[in-house]
Amino acid sequence: MSDRKYRQRGYQDSGGGREPREKRPQQGPRAERMGPRTPNLMGKREVVRCSSCAALLPPGLDVRGKCLKCGLELHSCKMCTYFDTSARFECSQPITARIPRKDAHNDCQFFLIRSTVERETSSSRPLDARAAFENLFKK
């Protein structure tokens, strides 16, 4: 070992001074996993939000009513799934005439309330800045 530049032991050294590894006790057979492993993803939910104020609307709310926060008519073009500003008459369905006010109540036969799929997150805002700072470094 004196003919080498560094003192670390390598593959060329004799294995006489090496310490044996400790064996772990066996814990029994592992459970077999068939197929791919499923990732731990966040849950998803389908929600309806107001197109004007983005308030979350309750699931059983009547579509002929109004938004509870801002008062926008729910059965209007702005709340419809088929509302598209780049399409003819601003609707992706084949309507015969243009509806002039997009936020007013109408009796469109193609109306389907717009719903979005959002992630379910359980993070709540901390009450004070100190708690928020300490939460950054928790393991």
Using the CB atoms, write b or e for 42-62: b if 16+ within 10 Å: eeeeeebbbbbeeeebeeeee
Average of per-residue pLDDT values in the chain: 80
Distance CA 42, CA 97 (A): 43
| Residues of the domain holding 92 | 42-120
| Residue at 10 is within a domain | no
What does the pLDDT look like over 59-101, one tens digit per residue? 888 888 888 888 889 999 999 999 998 999 999 999 989 999 9
| Residue at 15 is within a domain | no
| Residue at 66 is within a domain | yes
Q: Under DSSP, is residue 116 helix (H, G, I), strand (E, B) or coil? A: strand
31-40, 69-78, 92-101, 105-114: which has the minimum mean pLDDT? 31-40
| Residue at 5 is within a domain | no
Split into its structural domains, the chain has a count of 1
pLDDT of residue 24: 75
